Chains A and B, each alone.
Chain A
Amino acid sequence: MSQSTLAIRRISAHAGAAPGENVERDELVCKLIDTTTCIGCKACEVACLEWNGYTFTETVFDNSYQTMPETTWNYWNLIKFNEHEREDGSITLLMRKDQCMHCADPGCLAACPADGAIVQYTNGIVDFQQQNCIGCGYCVSGCPFDIPKFNPTTKKMFKCTLCVDRVSEGLEPACIKSCPTGCLHFGTKDDMKDLAETRAKQLRENYGIEKAGVYDPAGVNGTGVIYVLHDITNPEAYGGLPKNPHVPWVVRIWKGPAKWIGNLAMLGGLLGVTLHYLRYGPKEIDAEKHEGEKP
C-alpha cells in the first residue's frame, strides 16, 4: 500500500517535540452533530463500515433500535437511542451518534506508553497507528468517552479515524457525506462552532427549546466532534454523554509530574553513563549490529 503523509501535532510516548508541530498553518477540522435533526437512520453507521471495509457483525435485538450496546473495534460509529420523557410528560426519542470525539487534549494519547501508537495530526484528527500499538489498553483508561476498543485477533486497539484517508485527500469523512438530513456537518473547527451556536440560538429563539446548546467540553480542551443538544444541561440523557469529561488524574499525573520525575531519573542515568564513559572510555560496538539499525 502506498502511503500519504500528514503533519503531526502530538505523538504518544515520544521524547522530544512532535515532528510536525508548528510547521504549517493549523486548520483544525471538526465534525458537527446536530442531535435535533438526527433521525437515527444509521446511514453513518453503514457508510463507516463500508468505507473502512468492515462487513458483518452478528447482532442481537435488545428492546431498542440501537444496533449494539456500544461501539466495538470494528464498529466505530453507533447511534445511541434513548426514549426520554420531557418535563411536560411527553415522550421523545433522543438519538446521538457516538464515536471518537477527537479531543484537542486526547486522554488516549496521553495515556499511551507506546511510541507513536497514537498521533494527533495538525488538523486535529487523533489517529491510532496500529503497527506501533502494543495492545496494552492504557488508552481506554485515558479516554473519558470509552472509545478505544481492542481487537482480540490482532491484539491492537482501534477507533474512528475521522476518515483521515479521505480528509487528507480533500474529501469529507464517509459518515458526514452520507447523512441524509445534514445533521452531520464537516468543516473547520471555527466554522462548525459558529454553525452550532447559530443553530442552538435558532432552537432557543424560534422553536422554544430553551436549553439548546453546544457541547464542546472544556475538560479536554474542546473536541473535534461537537454536538448541538436540545438540553445542554443534561448530556447524560443522550446515551451517557459525560457532562464534564476530562482526562483522568492518574493519566495526568503519570504524563505530567510523574513524567518529569521519570525524566529526572533518566537525566540521572545519562549523567551516570557520561561519567562512566569519561572514566572508562567507549565500548566496542559490533559492526554487524550497527548495520542492522539502519533502515
Chain B
Amino acid sequence: MTNGWIDIKNTDMMLIMGGNPAENHPCGFKWAIEAKRTRNAKMIVVDPRFTRTAATSDLFCQIRAGADIAFLGGVVRYAIENNRIAKDYLINYTNAAFIVKEGFQLPEDGLYSGFDAGTQTYDKSTWNYEEGGDKSGEAATAAPARGHTGGATAANANAASTGGSAASQGQQPGSGSGPGLTGQGYTGMGAGGAKAMEPTKSAPTLPGKVAYDLTLQHPRCVFQLLKQQYSRYTPEMVERITGVPKDQFLKAADTFTSVRKDGDMKKVGTIMYAVGWTQHSFGTQIIRTAAILQLMLGNIGRAGGGVNALRGHSNIQGATDMGGVFDIWPGYLKAPNPTDTDLATYLKRVTPTTSKPEHWDSFNYWSNTPKFTVSFLKALYGDAATKENDWAFNYMPKVDRNYSWTQIWDAMYRGNVKGMFAFGMNGVAIGPDSQKNIDALKKAEFLVVGEIYPDETSEFWKSPGVTPDEMKTINTTVYRLPCAGFAEKDGSMTNSARWLQWKNVAVPPPGDCRLDQDIVAQIFLKVRDLYQSEGGKFPDPILKLTWAYTNTLHPALGDLAKELNGKALADLTDPKTQITIKRGQQLPGFAWLKDDGTTSCGNWIYSGCWTEAGNQMIRRGTEDPAGQGIYQNWAWSWPANRRVLYNRASCDPSGKPWDPTRKQVWWNESAQLWQGNDIPDFKPDSNPKDHMGPFIMNPEGVGRIFGPLAAFADGPFPEHYEPIESPVQNPLHPNQSNNPVVKKFKTAADKYATPGDGFNIICTTYRMVEHYHYWTKNNPMNVQLVPEAFVEIPVELAQELGIKGNDKVKVTSARSFYIAKAFVTKRIRPMTIDGKKVYQIGIPIHQGYRGIQEDADRNARTIANRLSPTVTDPNAYTPEFKGFLVKLEKA
C-alpha cells in the first residue's frame, strides 16, 4: 500500500476493485467503514460477484472477470472529458508534460510500435522521451505522431512506471507493479526482473534533459497521448467489454471522479485492490491504469488516497522486500545477469541517472544503488568480500531468463529441476494446473517439505487418481519435516502497510517439531561441512558465507534482524553533523550506507529496524497526535519509518498542504526544512522553488503516466486485452485479442480452451472470509463455518442446466475437472458481453485432498486449481487464476 490500513479512514471516496477486503482483510476493512461513518465517504465496489464487501457499498457494478482495464480506462476518459483533473498536480508531479519520441505508436490495432512477432517481444527504443527543452507553445507546428494506420494513433508517451514487478501481489514498491507507476520505485526502477535481464546490446537510456510542454498541448506530450489512448474507451465500449451497463458505468465514473469536481483539491479518493487485479495475463497493467487515474486526480501521496495493494498473506510483503523471488535481491536490487561481467558493469546498468526537464530537480534515490549493493554483499560475505574481488560479486548466481513460479514447475515437469524445498508453501494446491505440478513432482529426485500440517504437496504421491501400481513407479523421496507454528516463533512480519512488527514466543513447539530457521541452518551447515571435507563445485560462496550467529546451529532471529539492519565496519563520521558511529555499532538507517566496504546491511530498506537503540519493530507506542492514524511509534515502517509514501505530493508545489485539515508534511520556510506529522518521504532540505519531484524513486522525480523503455514488457500505457481464455474476441481489436507478449507453455499438460470447444462459462477463483487458503481446512472452527466445497452459480444458468442448490456439480476446464456442491445464487447475474450472453461462476479455493473434511471423506478431494491455466502476466509473472473458461454440468 502506498498508504496504510488506518489511513483509509481519512478518505472521502473508495473504489474497491480486484479485491474483496471485507472477506479477505476484515480487520483492515474497518477503516473503510470508519470513513463512511465519520466522513460520509462513498464506496464503489466493482467485482464479478456481489461480495460481502459489496454488501456495505454505496454502488456496485458487476464486471466481467478480466475487463478491468476497459473499465478504468473508461474512467480515465471520463475524467479528461469532464475536466475532473488535478491540473497543478498533473503538470508538476507527473510526466504528463513530457514529450515522447517520434515514432512511438499507440496500439489501435493492439500493438505498440516495435513489436516483433517472431519473438513476441517489443523493441522499446521508441518508448522513450524526446530529448530537449521547453516546447510550450510549439504545439501548433508540431506534427502529431501517427499510428501505423496513418490514422489517429499518436505516439505515445512514455511514462512508465517502475518496473514490472517482482512479485505479484502487487505492491512492491518499486516494483512497478503496484502503484508503481508512480514510481514506487523501491523495486527497482524500471524493469524489474527478467525484462531487465534480457541481455541487451546497448540498451537505450532515458535522456538527461527531457523535452516538455507545460501547456499540455503538444500532440506528443504524455497527456495528449493519454487522451488519445483512452478516447476509444467510450461508455459504449466499456459496456461492450465489461458488461457493465452504460448508465451504471457513468454513475460510477461520475461518483469516483467527483472528488476533483471543478478542480477542487481538498477531497481525496483511494483505490484498493488485491489479486483480483494481479492474477491476469495483463495484471500489472490493470494496476497501472489505477495509478494513472490516481495521478490524474492527484490522489497519491495524500492521506486517504493512494493505490493500495491489500496483499493477501501475512508476510508476502516482507518476502518480496527480502528478495524471496528470483529476480530481485533484498531491497528490490535487481538480480544480476550474465552481461554484468563485473560489479561496475552491473552497477552501471542498474543505477539510474536523472531524466527530467532541465530546470526541475530530481532526487533519484536509486542513484545510491552502489551503496546498497556493496553493503548487501558485505553482509553476506564479510571479510571475504573485498574491493579486490569485487565485493564477492561473482559469488552470486546470475539470471538471464524467467525463473518464476510457473517456470519452476515447468522445468521440473521437463525433468530439469531435481530437488525442491517447500517451506510453508503448498505448491500443488496453489497451482496453477495442480495436476501438472503433481506430475512434475513425480519426476523429481527429492522433495523436502517443512510444514505444520499434512498437505497436498507432501502427499502428491498418493493424490487422488494415483493407483497402487503407479505409486510404485514414483521414485521421489519426500522428507516431511515438522516445523513450528506462528506462536512458537518470534521474528518480524511486514504487513501490507509496510509495518515490520515483531512477535513473541508464546509456547514451545510441540512434539519433535523444530524451528524453521534451525532446520535451514542445520541443512546448510551440513552441506558446508561436506564442501569443507570433500570439496566440490565452486565451494567459495558456501564456505565464505558469514555466519556470525551466537548459536550457530540455532541462529536467533534477533541476530538475523541486526544483520538486516546493518552495522558500521569502520568508524564513520557524517561530514555535515560530525556525528560518529563506531565500528561494530548498528546503523541508524540507510542514509549511512557506503559503497567502500565500511558498512554492511542485509536489506537497505530495512535499515533502521534494529538500531543501537534496540529493536524498533517491537515498539508499542499508541499515540497518534495528528489523529490521522499515523502511529509513528508503533512498530517500524519501511522506508525510514514513513507511513505514507510520496507524502511530498500532499502539498501544492509551494509546499502547502492541499487540504489543511489533513496535514501530513509541509515546508517550513523559516527552518528551511520539510516537517510533518509523518516523516517526509523527500529530501528534507529541498526548497519547493527548486522543483524537486515528489516521486523520488523515479529518475524523473515525477509519477509516470507513461512508462518509458523497459518499464513494462507490454506497453507504456495499459491496453485492454482479453484473458488467454475468453468467450469473446477483443472488441477493440479482434485480430489482437490477447496480450501480444504473453507466451503459453508447451508441455503436454498445458492445454488452453476456446469457446469453440464448448468452454463458454467464465470461471473465477477466490478466498472466503471463513477460510485461509489451504491452511484452515485443518481447523475445526473454520471447517464448521464452511464445511464443504461449493461453486457459486447464477440462478439463470442453474435453471438452464437443471441444477438445484446443493446438487453435486462438475466443472471442467481444458486441464482437468472439479467436483463440488452447487450454490445457486442471485449474487452473480448473467451478462451481455459484446452482444453475447455470458455467464460467470465462482469457486472458493479452500479444499484439497488433506484436511478434516477430506480425511472424513466429506468432500470430493479435488483441488480448485486443477482448473486454472498455466499462463502468466508478462511483468510480474503472476498466473491467470481469474477468468478462464469452463464447462458446467451436474455430477
Contacts and interface: CB of A to CB of B under 8 A. Distances in A.
A39 B34 CA distance: 14
A91 B829 contact: yes
A114 interface: no
A60 interface: yes
Contacts, number: 113
Given A40-B55, A93-B52, A46 B769 contact: no
Given A41-B769, A182-B33, A83 B52 contact: no
A164 interface: no
Interface in B43-57: 50, 52-56
Given A91-B826, A93-B50, A181-B30, A57 B806 contact: no
Contact of A39 (B22, B36, B781, B790): B22
Size range of the chain B interface in the assembly: 35 or more
B37 A42 contact: no
A1 B825 CA distance: 48
A207 interface: yes
B236 interface: no
What's the interface size class on A, roughly? 35 or more
A50, A55, A58: residue with the most chain B Cβ atoms closer than 10 Å: A58
A41 B786 CA distance: 11
Q: For B33, B55, B768, which residue has the most chain A Cβ atoms within 10 angstroms?
A: B55
Contact of A59 (B22, B27, B52, B784): B784
Interface in A61-94: 61-65, 67, 83, 85, 90-94
B745 interface: no
Nearest to B770: A42
Contacts of A85: 826
A221 interface: no
B140 interface: no
Contact of A58 (B34, B787, B823): B787
Contacts of A94: 55
Interface in B774-791: 780-788, 790
B22 A207 contact: no
Interface string A85-127: 1000011111100000000000000000000000000000000
B788 A182 contact: no
Contacts of A241: none
B29 interface: yes
A83 B781 contact: no
A92 B825 CA distance: 11
A180 interface: yes
A177 B398 CA distance: 51
A64 B825 CA distance: 8
B26 A43 contact: yes
Nearest to A75: B784
A63 B793 CA distance: 10
Contacts of B827: 83, 91, 93
A209 B30 CA distance: 21
A181 B824 contact: no
A205 to B, nearest CB: 9
A63 B50 contact: no
A211 interface: no
Contacts of A202: 37, 40
Interface string A273-288: 0000000000000000
Contacts of B769: 39-42
A55 B784 CA distance: 9
Contact of A55 (B22, B27, B781, B826): B781
A65 B40 CA distance: 29
A85 B34 CA distance: 26
Contact of A92 (B36, B50, B781, B823): B50
A49 interface: yes
A40 B20 CA distance: 13
Contacts of B488: none
Q: Is the interface of B mostly helix, strand, loop or mixed?
A: mixed
B33 A49 contact: no
A206 interface: yes
A39 B27 contact: no
A34 to B, nearest CB: 9
A37 B50 CA distance: 15
Contacts of B829: 91
Given A61-B821, A181-B33, A182-B33, A41 B52 contact: yes
A199 interface: yes
B781 A56 contact: yes
Interface in A176-215: 180-183, 199, 202, 206-207
Interface string B8-42: 00000000000000110011011001101100100
A36 interface: yes
Contacts of A57: 784
B805 interface: yes
Nearest to A90: B60
A81 to B, nearest CB: 9
Contact of B785 (A36, A45, A90): A45
Contacts of A56: 780-781, 783-784
Nearest to A36: B56
A253 B182 CA distance: 73
A61 B790 contact: yes
Contacts of A180: 26-27, 29-30
A94 B54 CA distance: 11
A194 to B, nearest CB: 14
Contacts of B826: 83, 85, 91
A202 B36 CA distance: 10
Given A39-B22, A39-B26, A93-B50, A58 B825 contact: no
B787 A59 contact: yes
A67 B781 CA distance: 11
A42 B787 CA distance: 14
A55 B783 CA distance: 11
B3 to A, nearest CB: 19
Contacts of B785: 42, 45-46, 59, 67
B40 A206 contact: yes
A57 B37 CA distance: 36
Contact of B824 (A36, A42, A63): A63
B26 A49 contact: no
B593 to A, nearest CB: 40
B788 to A, nearest CB: 4
A58 B36 CA distance: 38
Residue of A38, A65, A90, A93 with highest tally of chain B CB at under 10 A? A65
Q: Which of B60, B785, B805 is most buried by chain A, counting CB atoms within 10 A of its CB?
A: B785
Nearest to B820: A61
Given A39-B53, A42-B769, A43-B26, 11 more contacts: A37-B33, A39-B29, A50-B781, A59-B785, A61-B786, A61-B787, A65-B786, A92-B54, A93-B827, A180-B30, A181-B33
26 contacts: A37-B37, A39-B26, A39-B29, A40-B769, A41-B52, A41-B769, A42-B770, A45-B785, A46-B782, A46-B785, A58-B784, A58-B787, A59-B787, A60-B788, A61-B790, A61-B821, A63-B805, A63-B824, A67-B786, A90-B60, A94-B55, A181-B26, A182-B30, A182-B37, A202-B37, A206-B40
The 3 A-B pairs at the shortest CB distance, nearest first, are namely A63-B805, A180-B26, A56-B780
